[in-house]
Chain A
Amino acid sequence: MLPLLANAHGSQTLVWHQGRAVTREAFINSARSLAPLLPPAAHVINLTVGRLSFMLGFAAALLRNQITLLPPNQTPAALADVKQRYPDHYVLDDAQLQAWEERKVATGPIGEQSLALPADEVRVVLFTSGSTGVPQAQPKTWQVLARTGELDAARFTGELASRFRGCTLNLVATVPSQHMFGLQTTVLLPFWGDCAIHDSRPFFPADIRDALLALPAPRALVSTPVHLRACLASNIALPPVEFVLSATAAMPLELAHAVEQRWQAPVLEIYGSTEAGTMGTRRTTQGDCWRLLPGARLRSVAEGWEYQGPHLPGPVSLSDRLALISPDEFRLLGRAADQIKIAGKRASLSELTHALLSIAGVQDGCVFQAPDTQRTAALAVAPHLTAAHILDELAKRVDAVFLPRPLVLVPQLPRNAVGKLTQAALLAALPGRSAT
Chain B
Amino acid sequence: MSAAPALSADELTMAQRLVDALSLEGVNASAIAPNAALFGGHSDGLGLDSIDALEIALMIQQHYGVELKSDDPQAREAFNSLRDLTDYVLMRRKS
Show the binding face of A for B, using Cβ within 8 Å.
Answer: 200, 202-207, 210, 226-227, 230, 233-234, 342-343, 373-374, 386-389, 391-392, 395, 400-401, 403, 405-406, 431-432
Residue of B nearest to A407 (CB): B42
Across the interface, A203 reaches (CB within 8 A) one of B26, B47, B70, namely B70
Cα of A401 to Cα of B55 in the assembled complex, Å:
14
Do A406 and B43 contact each other (CB < 8 Å), given the known contacts A204-B70, A226-B51? no
Residues of A close to B49: CB separation below 8 A: 400-401, 403
Residue of B nearest to A377 (CB): B25
Residues of A close to B61: CB separation below 8 A: 234
Show the binding face of B for A, using Cβ within 8 Å.
Answer: 23-26, 41-43, 47, 49-51, 53-55, 57-58, 61, 67-71
Do A391 and B23 contact each other (CB < 8 Å), given the known contacts A206-B67, A234-B61? no
Residues of B close to A389: CB separation below 8 A: 42-43
Do A391 and B42 contact each other (CB < 8 Å), given the known contacts A403-B47, A431-B26? yes
Do A204 and B26 contact each other (CB < 8 Å), given the known contacts A230-B57, A403-B47? no
Q: Which of A202, A206, A342, A343 has the most CB of B within 10 A?
A: A206
Cα of A74 to Cα of B43 in the assembled complex, Å:
21
A406 contacts B54, CB within 8 Å? no
B69 contacts A406, CB within 8 Å? no
Do A388 and B25 contact each other (CB < 8 Å), given the known contacts A234-B61, A403-B47? no
Across the interface, A391 reaches (CB within 8 A) one of B47, B51, B53, B70, namely B47
Residues of A close to B25: CB separation below 8 A: 405-406, 431-432
B54 contacts A230, CB within 8 Å? yes
20 CB contacts below 8 A, A to B, read A203-B70, A204-B68, A204-B69, A206-B67, A206-B68, A207-B69, A207-B71, A210-B69, A210-B71, A230-B54, A230-B58, A343-B51, A374-B51, A386-B43, A388-B47, A400-B47, A400-B49, A403-B47, A405-B24, A406-B26
Query: What is the distance, in angstroms, from B88's C-beta to the closest C-beta of chain A?
Result: 14
Cα of A403 to Cα of B22 in the assembled complex, Å:
14
Beyond the given pairs A206-B67, A400-B47, 16 more chain A to chain B contacts, judged by CB atoms under 8 angstroms and listed by A's residue number, are A203-B54, A204-B57, A204-B67, A205-B57, A207-B70, A226-B51, A226-B54, A234-B58, A234-B61, A388-B43, A392-B43, A392-B47, A400-B49, A405-B23, A431-B25, A431-B26
A233 contacts B58, CB within 8 Å? yes
Residues of B close to A226: CB separation below 8 A: 51, 54
Cα of A374 to Cα of B55 in the assembled complex, Å:
14
Residues of B close to A227: CB separation below 8 A: 54
Query: What is the distance, in angstroms, from A174's C-beta to the closest C-beta of chain B?
Result: 10
